[in-house]
Amino acid sequence: MCPPRFFTVDYAINPWMDPERPVDTDRAMAQWTALRDLYLSLGHTVDVVEPQPGLPDMVFAANSATVLDGRVLGARFRARQRAAEAEHFRRWFVENGYRDVTMPRRINEAEGDFAWTGSLLLAGTGFRTDREAHAEAQETLGAAVVSLRLVDPRYYHLDTALFVLTEATETVPASVVYYPDAFSAGSRRVLERLFPGAVLAEEADAACFGCNGVSDGRNVVLPVEATGLAERLAAEGYVPHFVDISELRKAGGGPKCCTMEIRK
Ligand code: ARG
């Protein structure tokens, strides 16, 4: 994770961002701190990358690498305003003992557009990550990639429209939450085939970034507004935990965007 010490919205690269609307950086810091503390209280380890002045979106750590079996595939951002973030994260991995670090050649916004199901790497395209980056990720990470096309600019990254609740095991398929309207017709059919038991988010849950949840297979971290989704997940035996992300959402981010999951 990366604290939003230099968080602002002074450019607009997705429909949520409005540079005219004021942002409270202290409040963003408090919201981020509450998210980090929640992970710690749930028994997870949190590594922190130093934020950099002039990189206000660096708080969205999920966009800067995809890590599987200790192999790190870095990022290459579409927007020039975010380009420099990738190198700060690359350096962090190298300095922290990760020996297999590859930087992509194609536009690749990392976990913003890649979701590991335990057996497959779901990969979004349409707004940010290049389709060709999917093949690159398959080759670098050695994981079978399933490409999915996003069609609604409000859901510009895969992680704004889908998250994995429980990873697949040898015997049990993965469980996922997704918002069908964010995907092309063909990609919706792919998702139906792969995840017939998926929890389908409704518009209200998607619009508050409810599909940007983080699950450890039991605890599910959601924006406080995603009450409908939380109830449905609770009925399936999950434990919802709410966080207030109102400031971070002004940049088009939620809990998952702030969280890069390191799979060693
Ligand atoms: N302002 C950032 C951007 O548009 C938000 C990124 C949110 N991250 C995410 N994983 N969806 O790039």
Residue 11 covered by a domain? no
Whether the Cβ atoms of residue 264 and residue 70 lie closer than 8 Å to each other: yes
Is residue 179 assigned to a domain? yes
Q: Is residue 195 part of a domain?
A: yes
What does the pLDDT average to over 234-252?
98
Sheet of 71-74: strand order equals 65-68, 71-74, 101-102
The pLDDT of residue 13 is 98
Give Dmax (Cα) for the chain: 51
pLDDT at residue 32, as a whole number = 98
Domain-located, residue 33: yes
Active site residue 258: no
CB 165 within 8 A of CB 220: yes
Q: What integer pLDDT is reported at residue 160 of this predicted model? A: 98
Q: By the 8 A CB rule, do 11 and 19 touch? A: yes
Determine the pLDDT at residue 119: 97
Domain count of the chain?
A: 1
Whether the ipTM is more than 0.90: the answer is: yes
| CB 126 near ligand 1, within 6 Å | no
5 in a structural domain: no
Q: What mean pLDDT is predicted for residues 120-136? A: 98
Who's near 96: CB < 8 A, 6+ residues apart?
47
Q: Does the Cβ of 252 fall within 6 Å of ligand 1?
A: yes
Ligand 1 proximity of 60 Cβ (cutoff 6 Å)? yes
> Residue 22 Cα, ligand 1 centroid: separation in angstroms?
18
- The mean per-residue pLDDT over the stretch 230-252 comes to 98
In a domain, 257, yes or no: no
Catalytically annotated residue among 2, 208, 211, 257 = 257
CA 215/CA 156 separation, integer angstroms: 21
In a domain, 247, yes or no: yes
Tens of pLDDT, residues 61-101: 999 999 999 999 999 999 999 999 999 999 999 999 999 99
Residue 137 lies in a domain: yes
Nearest atom in ligand 1 to the alpha carbon of residue 128 is 12
- Give the residue, by CA position, lying nearest to ligand 1 atom 9: 257
Quote the mean pLDDT of the chain: 98
* CA dist., res. 102 & res. 121, Å (int): 17
Instruction: Give the pLDDT confidence of 100-122 residue by residue, as tens digits.
Output: 999 999 999 999 999 999 999 99
Rounded to two decimals, what is the model's pTM? 0.97
Calpha distance 180→109 (Å, rounded): 21
Ligand 1 closest atom vs CA 212: 11
The contacts of residue 131 (CB under 8 Å, 6+ apart) are 125, 147
Please pick, among 134, 157, 208, 241, the residue that the annotation labels catalytic.
157
Give the structural domain span for 31: 25-251
Q: Indicate which CATH number applies to the domain containing 109.
A: 3.75.10.10
